[in-house]
């Protein structure tokens, strides 16, 4: 008589065939829960991607300061009457951006920038609900595996923090500036992408993985380094956006006729140039792009050499392709003087590259082990 099969990854002591079916049923339940949670997290990722794009459009259309108050609940409702629109416009007239740049703006022109910022805030609230409500349901019904409870709760906290960082960013442009602080804008963008990356990591861990062995630990470290460098590039891109530094030089591969343009260290102390000098910020962002391209190329060639034909190798080739496309989009953005459409494509594709890089890196570690609540009696 043959023993009943036991699914892999179950944490068992000794096996007794009469109870093996219970373990298999429990594992099937976990797989079903994981599939539902992957769908849920996938929808959250789509919403965050849309949020990043709308946020980019809000910045590129100079709409981010059109709403001068933070009303997390009441702010869901836009102005519904002419008097309410006039009230919002009057609030906007009190800040430096209106007084120094947009003085005389008509109500219709104000509505255009208002709707961009309102849509961005509404979408942000929607992401919070889309993540928080299902998470609560999964927790109450016992469908979240123990190892994931704190990480998912941590993501919920980060989402709340991101909302506060968003207002902290907006507040920087309401008193002494005509735009938001590039430091705060870059922080806001990077935190959004960090949340995106963490969700991809969890989601990938809930999915089945290839049985292909890891070719080398060096490739695992390389995949992690690529992910980290992409996040750094996104931060630098946030500085570029915050300073409108994409307009500092609009030629490639040279900048203002030189490989190393003059004026990189005009501000004192020198460190401020890397955050406040438009030319320096674009120069550093370009260097980061070259470094990322080179690292992605090295990672792909090393993967081909050490694990040709494996899933890890195929993913490294795709990742290099995605990085190459991003580099080409970046060049187009520069030489065409930062049109909104191409700038949004550059920002959106950066999120795509980040998401795939995280999934690729996570693939080296395999799926989360399956821990059943049932233990076989001896």
CA distances from 270 to 184, 187, 210, 262, 326 (A): 20, 21, 49, 14, 30
pLDDT at 19: 77
CA distances from 185 to 115, 250, 314 (A): 19, 23, 35
pLDDT at 375: 54
Residue 253's pLDDT band (cuts 50, 70, 90): very high
pLDDT at 374: 58
Radius of gyration of the chain (CA): 25
Indicate whether 283 pLDDT > 60.
yes
User: pLDDT above 90 covers what percent of the chain?
Assistant: 87
User: Are 63 and 116 within 8 A, CB to CB?
Assistant: yes
Sorted by sequence, the CB contacts under 8 Å of residue 140 that are 6+ apart come out as: none
pLDDT at 16: 45
3-state secondary structure of 258: strand
> Average pLDDT of 7-20?
49
- Distance separating alpha carbons of residues 274 and 250, to the nearest angstrom: 19
pLDDT at 341: 96
List the domain boundaries for the chain.
22-207, 211-373
- Distance separating alpha carbons of residues 174 and 99, to the nearest angstrom: 11
Indicate whether 23 pLDDT > 90.
no
Indicate whether 288 pLDDT > 80.
yes
**End-to-end CA distance of the chain, in Å?**
18
CA distances from 31 to 38, 309, 353, 372 (A): 10, 28, 28, 11
Give the count of alpha carbons within 13 A of 52, CB side only: 30
Indicate whether 4 pLDDT > 70.
no
> Angle at which helices 182-205 and 20-60 pack, to 10 degrees?
160
pLDDT in tens, 189-236: 999 999 999 999 999 999 999 889 999 999 999 999 999 999 999 999
pLDDT at 27: 87
pLDDT at 372: 67
pLDDT in tens, 315-364: 999 999 999 999 999 999 999 999 999 999 999 999 999 999 999 999 99
Report H helices in the chain.
20-60, 82-92, 96-100, 107-140, 146-171, 182-205, 217-243, 273-276, 278-307, 311-335, 340-362
Indicate whether 148 pLDDT > 50.
yes
User: pLDDT above 70 covers what percent of the chain?
Assistant: 93
Q: Which residue did the predictor score with more confidence, 12 or 176?
A: 176
């Amino acid at each position: 008589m043959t023993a009943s099969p036991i699914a892999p990854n179950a944490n068992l002591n000794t096996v007794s065939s009469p109870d093996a079916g219970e373990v298999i049923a429990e594992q099937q339940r976990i797989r079903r829960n994981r599939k539902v949670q992957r769908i849920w997290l996938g929808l959250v990722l789509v919403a965050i991607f849309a949020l990043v794009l709308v946020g980019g459009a809000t910045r590129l259309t100079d709409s981010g300061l059109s709403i001068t108050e933070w009303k997390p609940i009441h702010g869901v409702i836009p102005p519904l009457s002419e008097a309410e629109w006039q009230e919002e416009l009057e609030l906007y007239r009190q800040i430096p951006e209106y007084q120094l740049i947009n003085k005389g703006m008509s109500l219709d022109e104000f509505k255009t920038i208002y709707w961009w910022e309102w849509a961005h805030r509404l979408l942000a609230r929607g992401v919070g609900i889309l993540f928080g409500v299902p998470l609560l349901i999964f927790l109450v019904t016992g469908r979240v595996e123990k190892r994931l409870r704190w990480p998912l709760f941590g993501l919920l906290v980060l989402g709340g923090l991101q909302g506060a960082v968003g207002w902290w960013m907006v507040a920087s442009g309401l008193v002494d500036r005509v735009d938001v602080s590039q430091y705060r804008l870059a922080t806001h963008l990077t935190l959004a992408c960090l949340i995106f990356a963490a969700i991809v990591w969890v989601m990938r861990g809930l999915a089945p993985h290839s049985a292909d062995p890891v070719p080398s630990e060096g490739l695992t470290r390389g995949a992690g380094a690529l992910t980290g460098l992409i996040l750094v590039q996104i931060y630098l891109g946030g500085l570029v956006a915050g300073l409108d530094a994409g307009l500092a030089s609009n030629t490639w591969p040279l900048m203002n006729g030189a490989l190393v343009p003059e004026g990189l260290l005009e501000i004192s102390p020198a460190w401020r140039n890397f955050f406040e000098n438009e030319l320096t910020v674009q120069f550093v962002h370009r260097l980061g792009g070259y470094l990322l391209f080179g690292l992605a190329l090295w990672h792909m060639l090393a993967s081909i050499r050490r694990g040709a034909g494996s899933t890890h190798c195929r993913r490294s080739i795709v990742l290099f392709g995605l990085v190459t496309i991003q580099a080409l989009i970046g060049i187009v953005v520069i030489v065409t003087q930062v049109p909104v459409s191409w700038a949004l494509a550059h920002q959106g594709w950066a999120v795509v590259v980040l998401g795939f890089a995280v999934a690729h890196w996570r693939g080296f570690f395999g799926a989360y082990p399956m821990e059943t609540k049932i233990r076989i009696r001896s």
